[in-house]
Amino acid sequence: MNEFPDIKQILINTFSKLIEQSSTFISNLISAVLILGIGWGVARIAAFLFRSFFSKVGVDKLGEKIQNMEMLKKYELDFSLSRVLSQIVFILIMLFLSVSAADTLGVPAISNMFMMLVDFIPKLGVAIMMTLLGLFVSDLARKFVETLCKSFHIASGKLISMGVFFFLSFISVILALGQAGINTKLLESSFNILVAGLVLAFSIGYGIASKEIMLNILSSIYSRKKFREGDLVEILGVKGTIIRMDNTTLVLSADGKEISFPLRVLQTEKITLFHQNQ
């Protein structure tokens, strides 16, 4: 005959294992909480020390310069760069300790998730720093180009300087995204196409705009031997004496007035040269 199982022994074994597993879990939970609690205190102290260090080395001054950039000033940003960096340090320490706590609890899925965050956060921090530094350098380049254009009296200096700013800023963003582990091949391809189109458009536009200037310069080369200051000429019905010629302009004195002509008229229009006895 088959003997009936000992129900009492089965219940005792089941409850024993349940109590053992519960005690192990509670013990591991207490250890994990202690790790997080002590780690939180250590992370706060480390964040405070790092914030003091960053403040002393002048990181906040760089943050203020970034906030005062013309392109960002309208957004009224208000942040302390040393505080941001110290918070990143705090988060990193807590993530490391969270991995230890998850390992103590024996939950591999949570541990792996925190490890992925630990691996990503430093890359993200470096990417943010690269972006901010790129914006700062781009703004310095913008100011330099704008000042240079003003010194050469270039009317579109502000537009050119803004183009330089966005060009350098976009490059810094692409580099930062690559540092963060984000695939930027499509973005780089689009950027190359955009730059090529802008260069082509600028070349065509500049060529058309400089056509008149080139005509005047060529006219000055071919006409200087034929016409001199003091000659009496008639241009487009205006009779007068040449008082000034440069690379782009010819100035006549007629009836007590000074009349300017683009120098290209010497090649494109009929010019009558009078001798002094005429």
Domain residue ranges in the chain: 7-106, 213-274
d(CA 265, CA 48): 75
Instruction: Identify any residues that bridge with 262 across adjacent strands, giving them in sequence order.
Output: 249
Residue 245: φ, ψ to 5° = -140, 130
Q: Spelled out in words, what is the top-level CATH class assigned to the domain 213-274? A: mainly beta
Q: What is the largest CA-CA distance in the chain?
A: 152
* Cβ-contact 252, 243 below 8 angstroms: yes
Output b/e per residue, 93-125; b: 16+ Cβ within 10 A.
bbbbbbbbbbbbbeeeeebeebbebbeeeeeeb
- What pLDDT sits at residue 137? 84
- Residue 269 is given by DSSP the state S
For the chain, which residues score pLDDT lower than 50?
A: 1
- What pLDDT sits at residue 45? 92
* Cβ-contact 135, 72 below 8 angstroms: yes
d(CA 128, CA 116): 18
pLDDT (tens digit per residue) in 138-161: 888 888 888 887 776 666 778 778
- What pLDDT sits at residue 125? 76
- What pLDDT sits at residue 49? 92
